[in-house]
Amino acid sequence: MIGRNGIGIGIGIGHNLDGLSMKILLTGGTGYIGSHIAVVFAQMGHSVVLYDNLSNSSASVAGQINAITDEKCVFVRGDIRDTAFLQSTLRSQQIEAVVHLAGLKAVGESVEKPIDYYANNVQGTISLLEAMEAERIKTLVFSSSATVYGQPQYLPIDENHPTSATNPYGRSKLHIEEMLSDVAASDGGWHIACLRYFNPAGAHETARLGERPAGKPNNLMPFIAQVATGERTVLSIFGDDYETPDGTGLRDYIHVMDLAEGHAMALQFLISNAGWHAFNLGTGQAYSVMEMIKSFEKASCQKVAFNVAPRRPGDVAACFANPDKAMLVLGWTASRTLDDMCSSTWHFYQSFDNAAGKAKG
């Protein structure tokens, strides 16, 4: 493909990691993003342990991952705040590296329940670090977020953009990043990557894995999908008077499988690079809410009814990545298109609804 800067790019994940097989623990491994990472890692020959308390996912996801990969991913039900159990899992599974996804992620809920967010996200990460240190496991990939950049001061956002937080969820991510930076500075044996995701979207091509929030979706893509299925009647566009080409908000949507492959490249990088590192995982391409609706309509052949509502408090007009560092340092770039994101989401929703019956609400 041709990258953002016109440079020819070949990811060649399999080639880059040939011969390397590790035992990797994924905290939050049965969640939306963790499940896709598990597939990528298992298909590369890694041994994968999914560690999850199932607060926002189901154990059946482990079965779906194994069905896709023909590999035996191990599922362990546990909470990251249970340091002793986490440590015994790290030891019994002979884990060599951890990808840390477990946590709570709803911005609005974090304002209502900040203690839950600091307990799960910050205290949970401290517990994980204690368990890892006790087992002398010092390779960690952390699921961070573009939310650590706060209100964009310039676009596209690179990793040198100042960090700040506008809500407890964002603050928990920032606290964790800062903690991890201190840990890496204290002991040269740590190898840590903070991956700042922009807007993950899409589903696995088999339609066995995807994102299906239980209640009313907070994020755009699942909301659009639920209007397309008829499960919800109308999408509210939060503001059409932004200073953007069509007045609606611009975001950097990234296919969840591209995101998952970024984790593989980050892990490979960490093997030979100690210290603390931050990388944006985005495409560098921004789409408006209106473009998302149109693209989903095209992929699904369904109308997506919408109305225009007031701006959502805290929203910004535009947020998108400068992904050059990940390309230059990790050799990673996103290759899937917006149409891939929409069609895989639609395929997943149709399969899910056919299998489970529509959860109206």
Residue range at the interface with ligand UD1 (CB under 6 A); choices 68-76, 87-95, 145-153, 186-194: 145-153
**Total residues at interface with ligand NAD (CB under 6 A):** 27
Is residue 237 a contact point for ligand UD1 (CB under 6 A)? yes
Residue whose CB is less far from ligand NAD, 206 or 218: 218
Residue 280 near residue 146 (C-beta atoms within 8 A): yes
Using CB atoms within 10 Å of the CB of residue 15, give its burial: 0 to 12 exposed, 13 to 18 middle, 19+ buried: exposed
Contacts by residues 351-356 (CB-CB < 8 Å, ≥ 24 positions apart): 351/207, 351/208, 352/207, 352/210, 352/212, 353/229, 353/231
238 is a contact residue toward ligand UD1 (CB under 6 A): yes
143 exposed, middle or buried (CB, 10 Å; 0-12, 13-18, 19+)? buried
H or E, element range at 100: strand 97-100
Which member of 3, 9, 16, 54 binds ligand NAD (CB under 6 A)?
54
Beta carbons within 10 angstroms of residue 116's beta carbon: 14
Percentages helix, strand, coil for the chain (3-state, rounded to 5) are 40, 20, 40
Interaction partner, residue 223 (ligand UD1, ligand NAD, none; CB < 5-8 Å by kind): ligand UD1
The binder of ligand NAD chosen from 1, 20, 21, 55 (CB under 6 A): 55
Choose from ligand NAD, ligand UD1, none: what does 238 bind? Cβ within 5-8 Å by kind.
ligand UD1
Question: Least Å distance between CB 213 and ligand NAD?
Answer: 8
Do the beta carbons of residue 49 and residue 74 sit within 8 Å? yes
Per-residue tokens: 95: 């884990």
Q: Which does 28 bind (CB under 5 to 8 A by kind): ligand UD1, ligand NAD, none?
A: ligand NAD
Among residues 32, 117, 169, 197, which one is catalytic? 169
Residue 156, binding choice from ligand UD1, ligand NAD, none, Cβ under 5 to 8 Å by partner class: none
CB 17, CB 41: distance < 8 Å:
no
CA angle 99, 103, 106 (to 5 degrees): 130
Establish if 125 lies at the interface with ligand NAD (CB under 6 A): no
Encode 285-322: b = buried (16+ Cβ within 10 Å), e = exposed: bbbbbbbbbebbeebbebebebeeeeeeeeebbbbbbb
Closer Cβ to ligand UD1, 137 or 289, answer by number: 289
CA 324, 325, 327 angle in degrees (round to 5)?
A: 65
Interface mask toward ligand UD1 for 267-306; x: CB under 6 A: ----------------------x-----------------
236 binds ligand UD1 (CB under 6 A): yes
Picked from ligand UD1, ligand NAD, none, the partner binding residue 80 (CB below 5 to 8 A depending on kind) is: ligand NAD
**Interatomic CA distance for residues 131 and 176, integer angstroms:** 16
Residue with Cβ nearer ligand UD1 (90 or 235)? 235
Q: Please give the residues from 70 up to 129 whose contact with ligand UD1 meets the rule CB under 6 A.
A: 107
197 is catalytic: no
State which residue, 139 or 147, has the beta carbon closest to ligand UD1. Answer: 147
Residue 139 CB, shortest distance to ligand UD1, in Å, is: 25
> Closest CB to ligand NAD belongs to which residue?
31
Distance CA 167, CA 173 (A): 10
How many whole angstroms separate alpha carbon 238 and alpha carbon 241?
A: 9
**Is residue 280 near ligand NAD by the rule CB under 6 A?**
no
| Phi and psi angles of residue 132, each rounded to the nearest 5 degrees, phi first | -65, -45
Residues known to be catalytic: 169
Can you give the binding site for ligand UD1, defined by CB under 6 A? Answer: 107, 145-147, 199, 218-220, 223, 235-238, 249, 251, 289, 312, 314-315, 319
Can you give the binding site for ligand NAD, defined by CB under 6 A? Answer: 27-28, 30-34, 52-57, 79-81, 101-105, 120, 124, 143, 145, 197, 200
